[in-house]
């Protein structure tokens, strides 16, 4: 059930908090007081359109928060609509999309807006009502349809028609041949070749530099001579023994450097042919990057991708045969499932029609006859037909039903569909009716509320009198701002409100007497 509803900054509502009880709750008040605004707030919790124009003048945003309790589990839904910017949705404190909010809310509450009975005219709504009533299993049919869609997508991805496939195969073969010829095995090959190219390009300069250093450091060079003279001068001088050892170590290290330098220099050769080969290889790699990827790793990945694609296309016949077999099996399964669903829908339709008609007769339409027509391969075309009066043919609802008849038909369908969400909200479901029909609607709403929570916005005292709880919306206008408030009424206050609804004169003793009699006739005095 909806335990609590908080609304702030929405239209004429500054801030209100409403606590709801079990059973049937009637929301009443003068026309324009803001009753429908409460239903609009619930619609926001259901993922409805969030227009910034609904934000109360002077407020930064409109906030709606509802707390639901179902089977011991608590669900808190919240919607924030800024005066400028996009709305935000929250489910149990977590930021979610409006679509996710709507999905969660759809299991908690049904909102029948002021003109929501028009939805009953839609073929989809009528089919869903039939399926819900009959608990018709659509799983196998939906599974077969998903399989068909997947197979068709795979067939389309296989290469289209034969000519298109041949063109693609030719292109892929060229690309694979080019990539195979390149022989890429290392993602860093270009970096390594760049270093080699730099070395080969300056080989002469490198050898000259090495020669200069060797002439200075080699055995007969000035540096080596200096080391020899230094050691000779220090020899036998006890205070310098330690330093002489260090000079000796330096001389040994110098000899190692000279030997390594000579080895490296000997490996630096002028090789114009190799230089040209390295340059050509780098040009090939650059061309591959231009065609197939930003770097060599990407080029190698693309090579694998086109090989796999080419293999799939070249194996097209085998793959196509496999997919065709899958498609045939899915078609057989779909046909069988469609036939089963069609049969289930046709068997269920008369029972739904009769039960709805029974409720319509109790709602002030004593001659009502209901038909549910089913056609299509899987019975997907469902049409509710109504004969509201004796001697008239049953015709589609859109052609025969007035607003009041549609309202009652929607209510009758709701009474039949016991698997609907635990909270049902009706906004002026009694529009276009009065007298005895209004009593019947009140009785029907009370019946619906026997095993779920029902909230109804109504202008009819005959309907409100059946409620377990009554809330009154009052609008105050100080000339600058209009503000709506809501409060529960019971006992004497409820009599006053019902007398207002009956006669427009809440203080009238006669009207109050009628209100008390009305309450006694529904459930006894409050």
Would you say residue 498 lies in a domain? no
Distance of CA 80 to the CA centre of its chain: 18
Q: What is the CATH number of the domain that holds 104?
A: 3.40.50.300
Specify whether 296 is located in the same domain as 437.
no
Examine residue 327 and state whether it is found in any structural domain, yes or no.
no
| Phi-psi region at 362: left, alpha or beta (left = phi > 0; alpha = psi -120 to 50) | alpha
Average pLDDT over residues 117-136: 82
Residues 166 and 308 grouped into a single domain: yes
Is the per-residue pLDDT at 388 higher than 80?
A: yes
Least confident of 41-50, 66-75, 154-163, 357-366: 154-163
Query: Strand, helix or coil at 275?
Result: helix
Average pLDDT, the chain: 84
Could you please report the per-residue DSSP string of 11-79? TTEEEEEEE--SSEEEEEESTTSSHHHHHHHHHHHTT----GGGBPTT-SEEEEEEEEEETTEEEEEEE
178 and 240 belong to one structural domain: yes
Q: Does one domain contain both 198 and 303?
A: yes
Q: Classify residue 393: in a domain, yes or no.
A: no
Residues 193 and 56 in one domain: no
Residue 370, exposed/middle/buried by CB under 10 A (0-12, 13-18, 19+)? buried
What is the domain range of residue 252?
A: 162-316
Higher-confidence residue of 145 and 231: namely 145
The H or E element containing residue 8 is strand 2-10
Query: By mean pLDDT, which of 7-16, 112-121, 139-148, 342-351 is the weakest?
Result: 112-121
| Number of helices followed by number of strands (H, E) in the chain | 18, 15
Together in a domain, 47 and 184: no
The verdict on residue 506 lying in a domain is no
pLDDT band at 265 (very low <50, low <70, confident <90, very high): low
Residue 150: the pLDDT is 92
Whether 180 and 244 map to the same domain: the answer is yes
Higher pLDDT, 298 or 35: 298
- Ranked by mean pLDDT, the top range of 123-127, 275-279, 410-414 is 123-127
Indicate whether 182 and 249 sit together in one domain. Answer: yes
- pLDDT of 88 reads 94
Please indicate, yes or no, whether residues 167 and 305 belong to a single structural domain of this protein: yes
Assigned domain for 149 exists: no
Tally of domains within the chain: 2
In this structure, what DSSP letter does residue 186 have?
-
* pLDDT at residue 432 in the model: 65
In angstroms, the CA 393 to CA 458 distance is: 32
**Are the C-beta atoms of 180 and 300 separated by less than 8 Å?**
no
Highest mean pLDDT among 45-49, 239-243, 270-274: 45-49
Residue where one domain finishes, among candidates 489, 504, 520: 489
CA distances from 407 to 70, 119, 130, 334, 445 (A): 28, 11, 18, 37, 12
Distance CA 182, CA 159 (A): 27
As a whole number of angstroms, the distance between CA 493 and CA 146 comes to 59
Q: Is residue 7 domain-resident? A: yes
Name the band, by pLDDT with cuts 50, 70 and 90, for residue 204. low
pLDDT at 526: 45
312 and 178, same domain (yes or no): yes
Residues 185 and 285 in one domain: yes
In order of 64, 143, 228, the CA distances from 333 in angstroms are 47, 9, 99
Does residue 87 sit within a domain? yes
Residue 189 lies in a domain: yes
**DSSP state for residue 505 in the 8-state scheme:** -
Are 193 and 305 found together in one domain?
Answer: yes
């Amino acid at each position: 059930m909806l335990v609590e509803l908080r609304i702030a900054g929405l239209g004429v509502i500054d801030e209100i908090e409403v606590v709801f009880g079990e059973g049937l709750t009637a929301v009443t008040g003068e026309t324009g007081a803001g009753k429908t605004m409460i239903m609009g707030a619930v619609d926001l919790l259901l993922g409805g359109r969030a227009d910034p124009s609904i934000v109360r003048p002077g407020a930064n945003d409109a906030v709606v928060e509802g707390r639901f309790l179902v089977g011991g589990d608590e669900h808190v839904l919240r919607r924030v609509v800024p005066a400028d910017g996009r709305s935000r949705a929250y489910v149990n404190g977590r930021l979610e999309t409006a679509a996710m909010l709507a999905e969660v809310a759809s299991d908690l509450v049904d909102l029948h807006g002021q003109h929501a009975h028009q939805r009953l005219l839609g073929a989809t709504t009528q089919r869903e009502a039939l399926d819900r009533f009959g608990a018709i299993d659509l799983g196998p049919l939906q599974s077969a349809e998903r399989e068909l869609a997947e197979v068709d997508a795979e067939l389309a991805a296989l290469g289209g028609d034969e000519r298109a496939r041949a063109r693609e195969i030719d292109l892929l073969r060229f690309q694979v041949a080019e990539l195979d010829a390149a022989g890429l095995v290392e993602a860093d090959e270009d970096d390594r070749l760049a270093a080699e190219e730099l070395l080969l390009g300056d080989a002469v300069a490198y050898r000259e530099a090495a020669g200069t250093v060797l002439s200075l450091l080699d055995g007969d060079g000035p540096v080596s001579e200096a080391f020899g003279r230094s050691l000779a001068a220090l020899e036998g001088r006890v205070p310098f023994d330690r330093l002489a050892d260090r000079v000796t170590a330096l001389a040994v290290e110098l000899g190692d450097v000279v030997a390594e330098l000579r080895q490296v220099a000997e490996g630096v050769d002028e090789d114009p042919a190799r230089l040209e080969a390295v340059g050509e290889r780098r040009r090939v790699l650059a061309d591959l990057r231009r065609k197939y990827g930003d770097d060599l790793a990407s080029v190698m990945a693309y090579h694998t991708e086109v090989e796999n694609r080419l293999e799939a296309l070249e194996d097209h016949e085998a793959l196509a045969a496999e997919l065709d077999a899958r498609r045939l099996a899915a078609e057989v399964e779909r046909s069988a499932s469609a036939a089963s669903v069609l049969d289930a829908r046709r068997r269920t339709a008369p029972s739904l029609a009769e039960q709805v008609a029974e409720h319509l007769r109790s709602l002030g339409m004593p001659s009502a006859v209901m038909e549910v027509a089913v056609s299509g391969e899987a019975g997907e075309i469902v049409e509710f037909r109504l004969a509201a009066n004796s001697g008239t043919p049953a015709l589609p609802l859109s052609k025969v039903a007035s607003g009041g008849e549609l309202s009652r038909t929607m209510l009758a369908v709701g009474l039949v569909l016991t698997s609907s969400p635990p909270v049902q909200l009706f906004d002026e479901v009694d529009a276009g009716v009065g007298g005895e029909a209004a009593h019947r609607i009140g009785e029907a709403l009370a019946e619906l509320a026997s095993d779920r929570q029902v909230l109804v916005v109504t202008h009819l005292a005959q309907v409100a009198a059946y409620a377990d709880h009554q809330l009154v919306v009052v609008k105050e206008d100080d000339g600058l701002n209009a503000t709506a408030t809501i409060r529960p009424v019971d006992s004497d206050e409820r009599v006053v409100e019902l007398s207002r609804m009956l006669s427009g004169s809440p203080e009238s003793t006669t009207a109050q007497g009628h209100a008390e009699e009305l309450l006694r006739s529904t459930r006894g005095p409050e």
